[in-house]
Each structure stands twice: as C-alpha cells, then as structure tokens.
Structure 1
C-alpha cells in the first residue's frame, strides 16, 4: 500500500515590534484547496506562537526580549509536523531560556494530534515509549538530574524521517548545559500500537 500526497505550501511571516524586543518568525500554510482546513491549521500555529510568548513572560516583564523561529520536520503523506522555538532573555538574567513546542497536523482535516491520539486505546504507550527512552539514556550516556520517571501522557513530540521524536524542555530531565534531550523512535518499532490512520500510521506505510 502506498500513500501519496503533495506537501503543503508554507511561507514565513514575522511578528516584529518597533524596538525589536520581539522578533518572531512563524510558518503560514497557503494555497490549500480547502480554505477552512487551511484556516484551522494556521489558527492553531499562531495560537501556539502567542502562547509561548505569554508563557515566557514577555508581557509580565517589559525588559524581556524574544527571538523566535520554526522548523518543518515533516511535510509529506498528508502530515505536517513542525516545531516553534523561542529564545527569551530578561535583562540582568544569568542567561536566556529557549522553549520548543511542536504541532503535528493531518492536513486533510486540519486536526492537531496530541501524543495519546497517535496510539491505540489501551496500548500503554506511555510505558512502551518510556522504556525505550530509558534504554537510550543509558546507551547514549545522557546525564539526568534524577532517575528518569518516564514521559508524560502529553509529552512534547514531533515526527521526522519515519521517527517519532520525543523530547523534553530544558531542565526537565537534564542539566541546562546538555541542551534539549531528543529521543528518536523508529515507527516500525512501535507499529503494533500505532492508531490506524493517525499521522504515525501514515509515516509507517511503505511506498
């Protein structure tokens, strides 16, 4: 079985304040035949961009500057997976802090999938993925702040190169100097628990 669907067209737009303390680049989907779906996708992207700006304290602390960017991780087979990154620095702080959040869409419906929606009900995906990550931590000799307790049911993730990439924010499980810990998991290793017709399922189909 094969799954062929052209990538969606993406352009870059920016949010820049007059004094440039806010300089955010974000993706916008254009040219879709279904304008309602296109609007749904773009609304969710922009909502996430604004949420991260708020969460990083831009409106609470007037001396905060934020630079933002994005990366397209997957744009094929009817799946659009992307990451939004923001680096915020507050005057006199020891250092800034980067936050990365992600969205994964079915481009036919415009639905954004949470992690649990990628897996069959009752599959205990949290334990399966946590065990795989625990092995990677040991094999890659990743320094952790405490014993790894496992992922959250709504853990951050994106899809790239036929892999589910689970990741954690700075300070969540590793020291700041380590950076973001990313854990790629091949879709074929978890194929038996993937929910049918989910974005992961589409990536697992050979073509």
Structure 2
C-alpha cells in the first residue's frame, strides 16, 4: 500500500504584512531524488506565478499565496498553487496552477501524458466539457471550441478536473470554471501506468 506523503507548509519572508506567501514542500520521501524533483517543480512554478502577479514590482499592494492538496494517495500527488495579488484598480487578480506527480519517481505529468499516444484527448475532453457548459448554462466570453493541449488540470480521487483561468472562457464574476470528469468516462484513452490509470484501478 502506498501511503500519503508528508506535506509541510513553508513561508517566504517579506517585509510587508500585506504579502503572505505560503507553499507546500514534500518531506521524508524514501527517494531523495524524487523529493528534490517535486520540491524544485513546486518552487519553479510558484516563482513563475509570483512574477506574473507582480511580486517583484513596486506597485504591489497586497498578495496572498497558498495551496490546496487535491490528491495524496496511491503514490499520486496532485496540488494547486493559488496566488492572489492586488496592484490597484477595481479588483485584484487570482491565478491557480496545478502540479501532478508520481511520488515514487518524482515525475511530473502534463495533461498529454495522462493519455495514450495518438489519442485525441483534446477532442474527447472538449466534447465532455461542451455538454457541461450547456447543461450548467455557463456564460461564455466567446464560443467554446476546445481546450488547450496543455489545459490546467488536477486529479481528485476518481476524477480528472479540467479548469480555466479567470477571463479564459468566462467573465470575471463567474470565477474559475471547473469541470470534473469521472476517470471511467475517458478509460478508453488513458495511458497505462499513468496517474489516471493508477486511480482508476480503485474506482
């Protein structure tokens, strides 16, 4: 049995009380190389988001960064990094980015790597999402055609959750559009031994 990995919360020091940056780090893994890979990937992505959210710019007024663990079982770790920043104007801006790992090897998975090579996963996932958009009467900025091949996602137990950033397909007030897709609904195109395959074995 593969147990959950230990997650510790760390904070980046900052002079301003309005800037609070918390992030996760994996600890006590049996494989030190895997642990280093995972923690390096987390820090690299966090820094990219901080740059995009004006962390290093003088106009920054407020910033809050935190995380959510979406899956930590069966050797699969999937998490979200959330960064809110305010630099003036009508409202602040939030970015959510996700990372999914095999905790034994430290390998990070892209959306494409969850599916069989040559499978039209973009078309299949987009069709499922299109049905949900119509069913939930989601207001769009423009006609929805398809997800990006590298669309944001995370794994939550027996679902693949595909989501969009603020303003990506909907107005700001709609928040983040999330589309949970049961793993069994895409079972025919799942890559063997991928995180989805691992989680599907327990559905």
2:80 to 64, 78, 83: 83
1:26 to 12, 23, 28: 23
Deviations 1:10-63 (A, max 9, x none): 110011301234311111110111111111111111111111000112223433
Whether the 8 Å CA contact 1:58–1:65 is kept in 2: the answer is no
RMSD: 1.1
Distance 1:56 1:63 in 2: 9
Whether the 8 Å CA contact 1:15–1:22 is kept in 2: the answer is no
Aligned residues: 203
Deviations 1:45-92 (A, max 9, x none): 11111110001122234334210010000000110000000001003x
TM normalised by structure 1 equals 0.95
Q: Helix, strand or coil for the counterpart of 2:72? A: strand
Does residue 203 (structure 1) correspond to residue 194 (structure 2)? The answer is: no
Task: Tell me the residue number matched to 1:162.
Answer: 158
Unaligned runs of 5+ in 2: none
Deviations 1:167-191 (A, max 9, x none): 0000000110010000000000101
Q: How does 1:9-158 map to 2 (within 5 A)?
A: 9-91=6-88, 93-158=89-154
Whether the 8 Å CA contact 2:79–2:100 is kept in 1: the answer is yes
Deviant stretches of 4+, over 4 Å: none
TM normalised by structure 2 equals 0.97
